[in-house]
A = this chain, B = another copy of it.
Amino acid sequence: TGSINGSYRAEFEKFRRGLVTEFLSWQSRIVREYLRPEQFITHNFDFAWRGYSYGVQPAVDHKKASACLDIAGCDIYHPTQSRLTGKEIAFGGDLTRGLKAGGQAQASTGGQSLSDGTQALGFNGQNYLVLETEAQGHINWTPYDGQLRLHAFSHVASGASAVMYWHWHSIHNSFETYWKGLLSHDLQPNRAYREAKTIGADFARLSPTLTGLRKQNQTALLVSNEALTGMAQFPLPSGFPFGAPRTDYNDIVRLYYDALYEQNLECDILFPEDITRLSEYKLLVVPALYSAPDTTLAAISAFVEQGGHLITTFRSGFSDENLTVRHTEQPAGLNACCGIRYDEFTEPADVALRSDVFEVAAADREASLFMELVDARGATVLAHYEHPFWGSYAAVTENHFGSGMATYVACLTTPAYTRAIVQRAADAAGLWGAEQKAAFPLVIRYAVSAGGAPLHFYFNYSGEPARQAYLHGAGRELLAERPVAQGEILDLEPWGFAVIAEE
């Protein structure tokens, strides 16, 4: 892997990911020879690790590697205490839920459809197993009261049909001594164990309702291992493979994912193999798709032309699947649907965004990392750069194309600015309502039970008590076992939650 040729190194990374896919597929075939009807094959995928489960896994192509499984599985670890947000639980779940989704697509690529074993358990193609998650976690993650319960039901709300802990008791020797289990080293009942017992009791009682959930999201986020690797080889802002990048592909993915999450815009996470399913969605978010074949870019453009709403960003379309920079006008393949062009870019220094459209506090208007100097030929400029020399170039544009609309973001925006951009596009796509206004730390998640009942999860990701009106049809709160009327105020404890099944 030691080469200054980034294109070559990215190809080698793809080759290595292919070895993982081949190996798992070979293992799966061997196991499958001996599989009893009630048994199934899963695998414990993990995520890009940044001290916790952060983003798309660079070393494995989860989509391709999961073709040989009956049901997807993953491990998810994340901060707790006052830094608990639920973002990693949701991101990991939204990604893993999609690995076996799209049965038709699965079949066409030779993938494995649901085994008898998983069907017997009531799982559908969207369900997955949390094969590992933190109990007491490591030293920084000793959970506050209620957080273990919040974790568990948040996994369920994403479609998980099981939650398993690492691990039963804390280890007394060698290495993971301080990655503590449900029991501490003294093996006595303790605070975490007592809280876990309540989770087990609730799961035992509610499994008929909570197992085999289906999600019906209208927003999708497209991620790509090729874009990830490409950005890693030509990292921003320098474009040279020296030093650690300040902001990598996963940071940009998470910037947009988190902007969705914080506004209760639930999404499915798609891989390039899912490009045939774009018509299922109203809003498509495509962050920094630095490397992609013509077909992918054409499918995204067609999605817009046929009425979809697209948000895409700087770097999308720039190079092809071999990391060769395209010779054509940028953003290549997306210039027509976005209605723009550029051939210059730089790192912003003291650059803010100036806009008549977005109402964002001055401190949140900074452009950072990278800015394309966009000529908004046909598009409407939503924000310009505020700078003595770059002021004439566009930073954010919007373009009607066919019966759809494309939003282009030419620089790295702040989280608050990104939320404003996402809000505007979601509104145009008809996805902005009361749930979205009830923003983080109030997290609302939606699923349909195997029995067909709409389920609404209201999570309070905060150390303060929360009051929130119940926004949906009359139902029954499953934990307290009491009726809830539409508009009724839900009182949520710190790190508390409610699960209401419509009746």
Does A207 lie at the interface of the complex (its beta carbon under 8 Å from any beta carbon of B)? no
Query: Given known contacts A191-B344, A463-B389, is B325 in contact with A173 (CB within 8 Å)?
Result: yes
Q: Determine, out of A12-20, A180-188, A197-205, A397-405, the stretch whose residues face the partner at the interface.
A: A180-188
Pairwise interchain contact A7-B174, C-beta atoms closer than 8 A: yes
Count this chain's copies in the assembly. 3
**Bound Cα distance from A138 to B139, whole angstroms:** 40
**Bound Cα distance from A46 to B187, whole angstroms:** 42
Chain B residues lying within 8 Å of A326, measured Cβ to Cβ, are 172, 185
Q: Determine, out of A157-165, A234-242, A469-477, the stretch whose residues face the partner at the interface.
A: A234-242
Chain B residues lying within 8 Å of A468, measured Cβ to Cβ, are none
Chain B residues lying within 8 Å of A325, measured Cβ to Cβ, are 170-173, 177, 185
Does A345 lie at the interface of the complex (its beta carbon under 8 Å from any beta carbon of B)? yes
In the complex, the chain B residue whose C-beta lies closest to that of A240 is B178
> How far, in Å, is A482 (CB) from chain B's closest CB?
27
Interface string of A365-390 (1 = CB under 8 A from B): 00000100100000000000000110
**Bound Cα distance from A92 to B237, whole angstroms:** 27
- What are 17 inter-chain pairs, A to B, with CB distance below 8 A? A4-B174, A138-B238, A139-B239, A140-B238, A145-B389, A171-B325, A172-B324, A172-B326, A173-B324, A173-B325, A184-B344, A186-B330, A186-B343, A187-B327, A190-B344, A191-B344, A192-B344
Chain B residues lying within 8 Å of A192, measured Cβ to Cβ, are 344
Chain B residues lying within 8 Å of A28, measured Cβ to Cβ, are none
Does A358 lie at the interface of the complex (its beta carbon under 8 Å from any beta carbon of B)? no
**Bound Cα distance from A141 to B240, whole angstroms:** 14
Pairwise interchain contact B139-A370, C-beta atoms closer than 8 A: yes
Chain B residues lying within 8 Å of A327, measured Cβ to Cβ, are 172, 185-187
Does A8 lie at the interface of the complex (its beta carbon under 8 Å from any beta carbon of B)? yes
Query: Given known contacts A6-B174, A174-B5, is B140 in contact with A237 (CB within 8 Å)?
Result: yes
Chain B residues lying within 8 Å of A34, measured Cβ to Cβ, are none
A interface residues, Cβ below 8 angstroms from B = 4-8, 81-82, 136, 138-142, 144-145, 170-175, 177-179, 184-188, 190-192, 234, 236-240, 323-330, 343-347, 349-350, 370, 373, 388-389, 463
Top 4 A-B pairs ranked by shortest CB distance? A178-B239, A184-B343, A142-B346, A172-B325
> How far, in Å, is A292 (CB) from chain B's closest CB?
16
Chain B residues lying within 8 Å of A140, measured Cβ to Cβ, are 237-238, 346-347
Chain B residues lying within 8 Å of A179, measured Cβ to Cβ, are 239
> How far, in Å, is A267 (CB) from chain B's closest CB?
31
**Bound Cα distance from A79 to B259, whole angstroms:** 35
**Max chain B Cβ within 10 angstroms of own Cβ: one of A171, A175, A236, A323:** A175
In the complex, the chain B residue whose C-beta lies closest to that of A169 is B327
> How far, in Å, is A51 (CB) from chain B's closest CB?
9
Pairwise interchain contact A174-B8, C-beta atoms closer than 8 A: yes
**Max chain B Cβ within 10 angstroms of own Cβ: one of A142, A185, A240, A343:** A343
> How far, in Å, is A178 (CB) from chain B's closest CB?
3
Pairwise interchain contact A177-B239, C-beta atoms closer than 8 A: yes
> How far, in Å, is A312 (CB) from chain B's closest CB?
19
**Bound Cα distance from A141 to B239, whole angstroms:** 12
Pairwise interchain contact B139-A323, C-beta atoms closer than 8 A: no
Pairwise interchain contact B184-A239, C-beta atoms closer than 8 A: no
In the complex, the chain B residue whose C-beta lies closest to that of A180 is B344
**Bound Cα distance from A389 to B84, whole angstroms:** 14
In the complex, the chain B residue whose C-beta lies closest to that of A189 is B343
Pairwise interchain contact B175-A5, C-beta atoms closer than 8 A: yes
Pairwise interchain contact A142-B329, C-beta atoms closer than 8 A: no
**Bound Cα distance from A471 to B161, whole angstroms:** 76
**Bound Cα distance from A178 to B318, whole angstroms:** 12
Chain B residues lying within 8 Å of A184, measured Cβ to Cβ, are 343-344
In the complex, the chain B residue whose C-beta lies closest to that of A80 is B346
| Residue from the list B8, B81, B238, B240 in contact with A349, Cβ < 8 A | B81
Pairwise interchain contact B349-A388, C-beta atoms closer than 8 A: no
Query: Given known contacts A175-B4, A178-B240, A327-B172, is B139 in contact with A343 (CB within 8 Å)?
Result: no
Pairwise interchain contact A345-B82, C-beta atoms closer than 8 A: no
> How far, in Å, is A160 (CB) from chain B's closest CB?
26
Pairwise interchain contact B323-A173, C-beta atoms closer than 8 A: yes
**Bound Cα distance from A174 to B5, whole angstroms:** 4
